[in-house]
């Protein structure tokens, strides 16, 4: 199929936000075209069935694009960041290589300035997003258990929670012994037959969800939203890398994108509305590059906030070593979480909070390489250490809320470009003082619960380097054009037919995985756009 020269809505990217948005605007008589630089990934080809499946996690399914170096990846200069980038470039974006943990932000996450005097308030509330969270849960096929007292009530999940293994069951007992909050994870994983209309299978608890899921039980948007969107008429083209967004002659709107197709040929598409959904890393990169190329697009960044306020959820991992053999099985990221320390407490030396999340299911190679702990030392005692740790540990992440700081930002490299000629992005990030104190406190609490679990000792990774999965804040939304890039409908304040709808728009980060919120925002932005288009047609 040839790529059209015109579209009503042109979407850049095919990840979590783009897919939800595309589906929501589909079937309305609008020509919707999406361009994705990666390709489709066949879940049937997941290396989870290969004997060297753990090797794939170190190579072609490594989270860091600088290590993975797949054809669709672009390099990222991470020299000035202790947290390295983690993403995936394909139809499905980072949902191809994720754990599918599916929490929501809490109401207080939207009002950090009003409640706690830090960060900024969002221009929308939890209540504004609640119906979109529910719709998104249904589309993604979320398992879990309603009734968590740490969160507002939500509808029953479409399938029951994932089971606990011996290791995470011991952890649950540890939380109960301390009378701390914990709850089974909401996860975009199907656990029961017949709950979804698509061809999703049922989880058999194999573990390495990050390799893709041959059973199609673990959701990714290439399995959920995209088939529905395409069936409703959305056109998705792969191997197409957008190199620039272009202004109209008057310089007041955007009118087209330039891209390179899968044959390496340069082309362009005119569009009435351009929607940027290339992640909190890729979106500011493309916007900054386009501003550099076209002076009239400087209006995108009149606030000076484009690329700034980068937030990454700094994460520590604490592992308890157990006396007994304690098999750790099941989806690696989805077992249970604790939000005992999520809200601010004036008795602590930091504001805001963090989540503790159980990890499980490491294989032998991942254990030897360090995985959730440190690498097993080489030499005379290598096997003794391996046997002492493998199948005898349970780990907790301490996932912290980092606050927006202007100095943490994405910039364009001054002389390095990718294969398509775009300047590569540079991460500039330091961990804030509040977050450092929070990590220190969180590590101590993780040790406390692991000791209550029966650990004979703990090992701590004080900062997980390969954990920059959650790029947020780099084109933040707000009511005031002086301090934000887009409004609550994703529209650039000064260029209303240019939308940004991914994690870039988060004003603050919360302390949980952002994908459900990213998708809820994308659905809401889609409704707002359709309303505007329909109103304009009726006038």
Partner 1 sequence: MARDQQSDLTLLAAIMDCLIPGDDLNWPAAGTHGLAGAVMDHMTVISPDLDAFGVIMELLDIDFQQYPAAQQAAVLRQCEHDEPDAFDVLVRATYNMYYTDAAVRKVIEHMTGYPARPPQPNGYVMDPFDESLLDVVRQQGPSWRKA
- DSSP-based three-state secondary structure for 378: coil
Does position 114 bind partner 1 by CB under 8 A? yes
Segment lying near partner 1 (by CB under 8 A), choices 100-108, 239-247, 258-266, 506-514: 100-108
Query: Which residues in the 152-211 window bind partner 1 by CB under 8 A?
Result: 152, 160-165, 169, 172-173, 175-176, 179, 181-184, 203-208
CA 206 to chain centre: 22
Which residues, 445 to 504, sit near partner 1 by CB under 8 A?
none
For partner 1, the binding residue among 382, 416, 419, 457 (CB under 8 A) is 382
Measured from the CB atom, is 116 or 235 closer to partner 1? 116
Rg, C-alpha atoms of the chain: 22
Residue with tokens 């069935």: 49
Q: What is the DSSP letter of 49?
A: G
Q: Which stretch binds partner 1 (CB under 8 A): 54-62, 413-421, 429-437, 463-471?
A: 54-62
113 CB neighbour count, 10 Å cutoff: 13
Q: Which of residues 59 and 406 has its CB atom nearest to partner 1 in the complex?
A: 59
CB of 389 to partner 1, least distance (A): 11
Binding-site residue total for partner 1 (CB under 8 A)? 73
- Residues 315, 318, 319, 320, CA torsion sign: negative
Of residues 345 and 531, the one with the C-beta less far from partner 1? 345
Q: Which residue has the tokens 């963090």?
A: 354
Residue 334 within binding range of partner 1, rule CB under 8 A: no
Helix (H, G, I), strand (E, B) or coil at 437: helix
Give yes or no for residue 107 binding partner 1 (CB under 8 A).
Answer: yes
Q: Which is nearer to partner 1, 67 or 258 (CB)?
A: 67
| 325 lies in the binding site for partner 1 (CB under 8 A) | yes
Q: What φ, ψ does residue 236 adopt, rounded to 5°? A: -115, 125
Distance, in Å, from the CA atom of 139 to the CA atom of 142, rounded to the nearest integer, reads 8
Candidates 39, 66, 108, 411: give the one binding partner 1 (CB under 8 A): 108
Question: Closer to partner 1 at the Cβ: 55 or 266?
Answer: 55
Question: Site for partner 1 (CB under 8 A): which residue of 26, 37, 46, 224?
Answer: 46
| Footprint on residues 383-422 left by partner 1 (CB under 8 A) | 383, 387, 390-391
**d(Cα 292, Cα 51) in Å, to the nearest integer?**
48
Residue 423 Cβ, how far from partner 1 at the closest point, in Å? 21
Structural contact between residues 473 and 280, judged by C-beta atoms closer than 8 angstroms: yes
Element (DSSP H or E) covering residue 364: helix 364-369
Quote the least distance from Cβ 384 to partner 1, whole Å. Answer: 10
Give the N- to C-terminal CA distance of the chain in Å, as an integer: 35
Which member of 79, 323, 380, 538 binds partner 1 (CB under 8 A)?
Answer: 380
Query: In sequence order, which residues have a C-beta less than 8 Å from that of residue 304 and are 6 or more positions away?
Result: none
Per DSSP bridges, beta strands 455-461 and 315-322 are: antiparallel
506 interacts with partner 1 by CB under 8 A: no
User: Measured on CA atoms in the order 168, 171, 177, 180, is the torsion positive or negative?
Assistant: negative
- For partner 1, the binding residue among 26, 81, 151, 309 (CB under 8 A) is 151
């Amino acid at each position: 199929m040839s790529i059209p020269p015109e579209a009503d809505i042109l979407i850049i990217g095919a990840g979590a936000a783009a897919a939800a948005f595309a589906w929501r605007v589909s079937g309305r008589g609008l020509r919707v075209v999406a361009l994705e630089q990666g390709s489709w990934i066949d879940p049937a080809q997941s290396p989870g069935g290969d004997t060297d499946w753990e090797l794939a996690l170190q190579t072609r399914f490594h989270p860091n694009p600088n290590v993975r170096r797949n054809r669709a990846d672009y390099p990222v200069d991470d020299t000035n960041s202790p947290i390295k980038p983690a993403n995936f470039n394909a139809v499905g974006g980072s949902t191809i290589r994720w754990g599918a943990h599916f929490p929501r932000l809490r109401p207080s996450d939207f009002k950090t300035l009003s409640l706690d005097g830090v960060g900024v308030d969002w221009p929308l509330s939890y209540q504004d997003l609640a119906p979109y969270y529910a719709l998104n849960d249904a589309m993604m096929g979320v398992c879990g258990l309603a009734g968590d007292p740490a969160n507002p009530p939500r509808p029953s999940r479409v399938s029951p929670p994932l089971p606990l293994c011996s290791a995470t069951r011991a952890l649950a007992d540890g939380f109960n012994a301390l009378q701390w909050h914990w709850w089974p994870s909401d996860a975009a994983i199907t656990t029961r037959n017949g709950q979804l209309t698509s061809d999703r299978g049922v989880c058999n608890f194999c573990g390495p969800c990050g390799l893709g899921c041959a059973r199609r039980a673990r959701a990714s948007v290439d399995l959920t939203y995209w088939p529905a969107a395409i069936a409703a008429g959305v056109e998705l083209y792969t191997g197409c890398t957008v190199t620039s967004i272009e202004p109209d002659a008057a310089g007041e709107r955007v009118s087209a994108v330039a891209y390179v197709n899968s044959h390496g040929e340069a082309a362009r598409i005119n569009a009435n509305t351009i929607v940027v959904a290339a992640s909190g890393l890729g979106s500011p990169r493309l916007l900054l590059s386009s501003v550099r190329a076209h002076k009239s697009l400087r209006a995108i960044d009149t606030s000076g906030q484009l690329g700034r306020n980068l937030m990454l959820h700094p994460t520590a991992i604490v592992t308890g070593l157990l006396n007994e053999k304690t098999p750790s099985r099941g989806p690696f990221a989805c077992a249970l979480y604790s939000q005992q320390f999520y809200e601010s407490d004036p008795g602590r030396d930091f504001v805001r909070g963090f989540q503790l999340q159980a990890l499980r299911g490491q294989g032998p190679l991942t254990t030897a390489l360090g995985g959730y702990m440190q690498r097993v030392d080489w030499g005379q005692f290598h096997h003794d250490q391996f046997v002492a740790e493998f199948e005898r540990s349970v780990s907790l992440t301490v996932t912290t809320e980092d606050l927006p700081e202007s100095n943490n930002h994405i910039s364009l490299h001054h002389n390095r470009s990718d294969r398509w000629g775009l300047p590569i992005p540079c991460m500039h990030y330091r961990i804030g003082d509040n977050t450092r104190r929070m990590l220190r406190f969180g590590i101590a609490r993780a040790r406390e619960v692991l000791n209550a679990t029966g650990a004979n000792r703990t090992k701590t990774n004080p900062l997980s380097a390969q954990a920059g999965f959650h790029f947020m804040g780099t084109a933040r939304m707000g009511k005031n054009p002086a301090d934000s890039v887009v409004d609550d409908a994703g529209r650039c304040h000064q260029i209303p037919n240019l939308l940004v709808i991914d994690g870039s728009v988060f004003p603050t980060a919360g302390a949980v995985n952002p994908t459900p919120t990213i998708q809820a925002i994308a659905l809401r932005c889609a409704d707002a756009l359709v309303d505007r288009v329909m109103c304009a047609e009726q006038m």
